[in-house]
Structure 1
Amino acid sequence: MGLKQASGRGIFRTQRLLDGGGLVAFLLLTTGLIWGLLSAPSQLAEPLPLPPLAKGEQRVLEQYASELIMDEMSRNTIVGLSAAIIAGDRIVWAKGFGYADREAKQPATPDTVYRVGSISKIPNAIAVLKFNADGKVDLDEPVKRYIPELVVKSRFAAAPPFTPRQLMTHHSGLPSDIVKGMWGEQPAPFQSVVSLLKDEYIAYPPGTIHSYCNLGAGLLGVMLERVSGAEYDAVMQETVLQPLGMENSSYYLRSHMEPKLSKGYNKKGQPDQEVSMRDIPAGNLYTSVNDLSNMMMLLLNDGVYKGEQLLPATLVSEMLTAQNNAVPLDGNFKIGYEFFLQNPAFSYVGDDFSHGGHMYLFHGQVMGVKKEKVAVVVLANSAGAAERVKLIAEQLLKGAIAVNAGLLPPTTKPGNNVAALLPDLPQAASYAGSYGTVIGLLEVQETHKGAYTAKLQGNKVELLPDKENWLRPQYRLFGILPLSHPKLQDMRIAFRTVNGEDVVFIRMGKEIAAVGKRIVNYNLPQAWRNRQGVYHTNDVENQLLGIDSLELKVNKQGILLMNLTTDTKAAQLGELVLYPVSDQEAVIYALGRRMMETIWIRQEKDGEKLIFSGVSFKKQQK
């Protein structure tokens, strides 16, 4: 049976990557979320409201589901979409909308095959758990036990090696990606990441913070091959896909699936080509909503599928249980094995689990509630679905909960009293100082005892204490008039000490995240001072970073800052702090995905090159 990857041409006209390597997309999202306060940032349009469903009103839910999806498709230029609702051990509704191939008039169906991006990580993790159940993999042994040649540099002498459990919860401390070579016409085999990692540093000590990592899924795939003695696709077919009856699913496109394969469409609704990827286990699964529904049944029913116990109930429970309760830098974010938990949209039910998958043209979402034994799958073939598949899935799941359990979402918006959700961490004697954050250099001054102002990207706000022991930012127009802004009203800031470092936490609504930490013992070597200037990358494949230029400059306080400019909108992003650790290496000083990763200098025949995530940048001459 033929196996191949989808290939693409003209793939570098725009940024393709959302699940992995999307440094610019990530920074834009973060910056817009927290500090887009003066430009009235756009809000996601509300989906069609859920009707007052009663228990057992399945037909009413199905009618609503169709109306919701058709409304979303028409408003967001979505050409094709398939969705399914699962209750217990069966699919109670599945339907396709629009076209899998509009030009050929081929309709989308529940068996249409889509690329599902990071949803690929879920079957990958299930395979690891099955090997664990068979005694072939220990989740708490070093991954190096299974991949002896694996070497990653570290600056944390006392840190333990990372484990399969930490790879499945994104707490390994590895860099998020190695962008160079990750995508292309003919990318290298995913097993090549093992040798590529020898030039990279661990960003965090394993177990200290959640940092989403595509490389981890690839290493799990290599581990599965080593333990089984078989190639990855064969392992996945035999261990997960075939036992679950996922006949239209594969990590490499199979010939019998090609007639069902959906085309991809860009934001204008025009057919376009996706790109092949290196990191197969992290994001290259081809599948359908019917097939993914089988996987969700396995999880809803404690590892039982069609009467057979395919995975021990204890491991299913672990997969859907928070593994990071003892990680203070995670704020109140919760993750099981790959699945994200405790979506605020389902706080009235609890026990929810979800994962999205995003590529340039294809977007998907799986979502379920274990206690009520209901789940949904939504897959789409259009770039316009990027921000909508999760909203559609949430609405369908709320409807399924109502119809199957008689529980409707609350009509009143819950309050934001989350004081107890921040770990009981000590406060610093003073918050004054400079902090590296995901949104740039944060400078905090104490204007008088207990009163602070903060400056970020030229915006200056007062930090006013509230009754929940957080700080509320207040902006003054022209430095005089207090200005009310919805984003600021919902935002709170806290400074706490974690593992001996002063950390900045941001709260938006009920969600809390660590975004940066105090800059201490900063010393800028002359070698880095001499590197001030604008850098460009000339490698075509490296345009996937979405960066037109990278600028290094030193501010008045003697701190080295890195400015990034996007290649599409010429938008300048935050001034990220670089913390030199030697004349040749510096880390991006903040907390979160892609932060604390190393930028290093390589000497080549045509001069010095700045290397980040495998991508080389050369300084432009004046």
Structure 2
Amino acid sequence: MKNTFFFVLSILCHTAMAQQKNNASILTKQDQAILIDSSEKYFADRMEQDKIVGLSAALIIGNKVIWQKGFGFADREKKIPMTVNTVVNIGSITKTFTALSIMQLQEQGLIDLSQPLNRYLKQFHPKLQKGFNRDQVTVKSVLTHTSGIQSDIWKNSDLESGKYTDVVDFINDTYLLYPPGMIGLYSNAGYNLLGHTIKEISKEDYPSYIHKHIFSKLGMSRSGFAQDKLSNRSKLYAYGEVVKEYELRDVASGGIYTDMEDFTKYAIGLLDAYQGKNNGLIEEKTIKKMFSLQNADIPLETNKKGLGWFMFRNDSVTAMYHAGSAGFAQAKLLLFPEKKAAVIVMTNTAEGGSAAEEFCFDLLPRFGLSIPDLFPAPIADRIHDSNPAINPAKESLKAHEGNYAVSGSYVSVSSNGENLKMRNGDKLYILKPAGRNEYIPYIVKEGDTVAENNNNRYFFRNIKGYHFLIKRIKQREYNLGYKLKPVTDELWLDRLGLYKQSGYQMLIGDSKFKSLELYFSKDHVLMCRLKTMGSTNEIPLDVIDDHTAMSSGVNSGFGGFTVTFKKEGQNRIADFAGISFLKSE
């Protein structure tokens, strides 16, 4: 079904571009009808294929809704249908509202994005590693997830246990994990700090601010937060069963609920503002700044970003994107601001996320974009000389030796005087020099070496005191991780062992924690085996001080958190991002 849908869209794309290359958003009535029919068939098929209980979707062309529809059930047990008036939590798309609020305050001269966050949120004073500067945590760095603030804090993360203004105190007990401006690290905690900043500047509670300055201006009367007790809220489903809703403390990073009719008002409001229409929401120049590339100077990034948005961008076209996942609800919002178009999908089912995202991404070619347009251009060729193969000095090779944290594990690099050897789990590679600090990987199989892929290259790069290993595949680069510092045995040996979860527990499905095991690998890497109800995660730790480490593997699921250890009486306590684990002596 997906291929048929994509084929229809490709035909539409070719026809529309031939008719009017510079305004691909214009479709004839017949083209619109074909697009609507293919969309309905796509979702009808995916609902059955993926066992999705309820879903709603909309298409906006020319700043107008040409189609919106609900599929399946908002409440399967009571046979209540999913409609465009069914309310769903949009999760992290809330961050775009937070970013919009910050930009509204900037227009009023109340905030300067280039200034330190603690100029406006004076309570913000996290711990600092050697050489770090808190004043480099600017408002912009938090908006673009490049501040070095850790990914999340799970202590008291439900609405009954905590509130978003608690987060600053929790963050103050953690370290900045990376120097601000060095690396893209997605941070829910950072956006809750922005919500708190909005409260401090505007003197309005974050939900009240959003109601007054965004919802009311756009006529979004059926939108709000968990505490608003909105009607027509959907039930949530996962693995074929109804599941309990997890209402977030983190209202500024994932707390907004809306229905499709209101959601389209938000999308159209942004498109109108971008086209210069005065709707009282935001000025044209401001939203064009939001929708422009803001992270081109970040050395290690995974996505192009605007302010509060991810970005697809090539030489001629831009699209802004954000996804949301709150518990089991899923939402996707894709805007084509220059083309006056948008795509929106919401679902009440955990398994519905893939269908929603594929629907959005399959529309990219219609507007002259593709998925690779989301990723930053490779930087290795700008950093390293790709000269003919050279024989690096032994000292140069030795500088790369060590263990590098990667997603879910680590790789070990050693040298033999002429080449580098890299071991990744059970796989062994020879890295042969191809240029200054550029290496071609050859996988070792039964004593023979075979080129892994002619398009693959590995690079090493020093960035602000970290030695990074970077892999390039064709025109995309992956930051695999950085060299871990050696660990002093006497400080950590008596902390090794199994810790069982104790105290506050996450309340949502597979994310409930079971245990944390601290151990040394055979390469003497300090490792954390973190078990939840649904997964086991092997995480390399990088030591910060005598009692604190950080979970490495920069952009992995459990990378980017502070892990602390302390002793209380006969017990040892490990804390991972606000969740406590206990080991009895």
Between 555-564 and 524-533, the greater mean CA deviation after superposition: 555-564
* Kept after mapping to 2: 8 A contact 1:610/1:616: yes
Does residue 454 (structure 1) correspond to residue 429 (structure 2)? The answer is no
Match of 1:368 in 2: 335
Distance 1:585 1:447 in 2: 34
Q: 2:411 aligns with which of 428, 442, 452?
A: 442
* Kept after mapping to 2: 8 A contact 1:516/1:590: yes
Between 221-230 and 291-300, the greater mean CA deviation after superposition: 291-300
**Letter in structure 1 aligned against 2:157:** M
Distance 2:277 2:289 in 1: 22
Given the two structures, how large is their TM-score scaled by the length of structure 2?
0.85
Given the two structures, how large is their TM-score scaled by the length of structure 1?
0.81
**Letter in structure 2 aligned against 1:274:** E
> What does 1:120-159 correspond to in 2, within 5 Å?
120-159=94-133
* Kept after mapping to 2: 8 A contact 1:297/1:305: no
Deviation at 1:364, TM superposition (A): 0.9
| 2:167 alignment partner, SS class | helix
Does residue 181 (structure 1) correspond to residue 156 (structure 2)? The answer is yes
Distance 2:550 2:40 in 1: 49
Q: Percent identity?
A: 25
Q: 2:174 aligns with which of 196, 200, 220?
A: 200
Post-superposition CA distance 1:313-342 (Å, at most 9, x none) = 1211111112111111226x3111121112
Match of 2:246 in 1: 275
Deviation at 1:176, TM superposition (A): 0.8
Distance 2:497 2:378 in 1: 46
Does residue 337 (structure 1) correspond to residue 307 (structure 2)? The answer is yes
Post-superposition CA distance 1:238-281 (Å, at most 9, x none) = 111111121211123534x31x211111122x322211211111
Does residue 293 (structure 1) correspond to residue 264 (structure 2)? The answer is yes
> What does 1:24-423 correspond to in 2, within 5 Å?
48-51=5-8, 52-53=11-12, 54-55=15-16, 56=28, 57-161=31-135, 162-183=137-158, 186-255=160-229, 257-258=230-231, 260-268=232-240, 270-303=241-274, 307-330=278-301, 333-342=303-312, 350-396=317-363, 398-399=365-366, 401=367, 421-422=379-380
Distance 1:47 1:447 in 2: 53
* Kept after mapping to 2: 8 A contact 1:82/1:380: yes
Deviation at 1:290, TM superposition (A): 2.3
Distance 2:6 2:274 in 1: 34
| Residues 362, 590 of structure 1: alpha-carbon distance in 2 compared, 3 angstrom cutoff | closer
* Kept after mapping to 2: 8 A contact 1:320/1:353: yes
Does residue 501 (structure 1) correspond to residue 473 (structure 2)? The answer is no
- Which protein, 1 or 2, shows the higher relative CO under an 8 Å CA cutoff with sep ≥ 6? 1
**Letter in structure 2 aligned against 1:378:** V
Distance 2:225 2:466 in 1: 42
* Kept after mapping to 1: 8 A contact 2:152/2:561: no
* Kept after mapping to 1: 8 A contact 2:437/2:460: no
Deviation at 1:437, TM superposition (A): 2.4
Distance 2:436 2:81 in 1: 53
| Residues 490, 271 of structure 1: alpha-carbon distance in 2 compared, 3 angstrom cutoff | farther
Q: 1:531 aligns with which of 472, 476, 495?
A: 495
**Letter in structure 2 aligned against 1:424:** R
What runs of 5+ residues in structure 1 fail to find an aligned partner? Answer: 1-43, 402-406
**Letter in structure 1 aligned against 2:170:** L
Deviation at 1:468, TM superposition (A): 12
* Kept after mapping to 2: 8 A contact 1:588/1:596: yes
Distance 1:586 1:118 in 2: 28
> What does 1:471-620 correspond to in 2, within 5 Å?
471=439, 473-480=441-448, 482=450, 492-507=457-472, 510-520=475-485, 522-539=486-503, 541-542=505-506, 545-568=511-534, 571=536, 573-574=537-538, 576-592=539-555, 595=559, 597-619=561-583
Match of 1:39 in 2: none
Deviation at 1:414, TM superposition (A): 9.1
Between 310-319 and 58-67, the greater mean CA deviation after superposition: 310-319
Distance 2:351 2:237 in 1: 8
Deviation at 1:511, TM superposition (A): 3.5
**Letter in structure 2 aligned against 1:180:** K
Q: Note the aligned Cα RMSD (angstroms).
A: 3.2
| 1:63 alignment partner, SS class | helix
Deviation at 1:233, TM superposition (A): 1.7
Match of 1:424 in 2: 382
